[in-house]
Amino acid sequence: MGSKEKRMTQIASPCLNICQLDPAADTCTGCGRTRAEIGGWMGMSADERAAIMMRLAQAKQADADAS
């Protein structure tokens, strides 16, 4: 396995096995990813995956702060 492939596997999918799309937001109600992010996850680089994970963490924190 090359270094690029190894880096890509180091960021696990945020999937929670809930897998329901909110049609209004076009995001999964479980993990928060968009349909495009879910579909493209396996082909994304580690940097792309990390950016999505950061966005998901920020959205989760914003929801917690609003509560």
Reported pTM: 0.79
Q: Are 54 and 14 in contact (CB under 8 A)?
A: no
**Reduced to 3 states, what is the DSSP secondary structure of residue 22?**
strand
Rounded to 10 degrees, the C-alpha dihedral 56/57/60/64 comes to -170
Lowest mean pLDDT among 1-5, 33-37, 60-64: 1-5
Q: Return the pLDDT at 2.
A: 57
Mean of pLDDT over the chain: 88
**Listed residue (45, 39, 40, 36) closest to 4, CA to CA:** 45
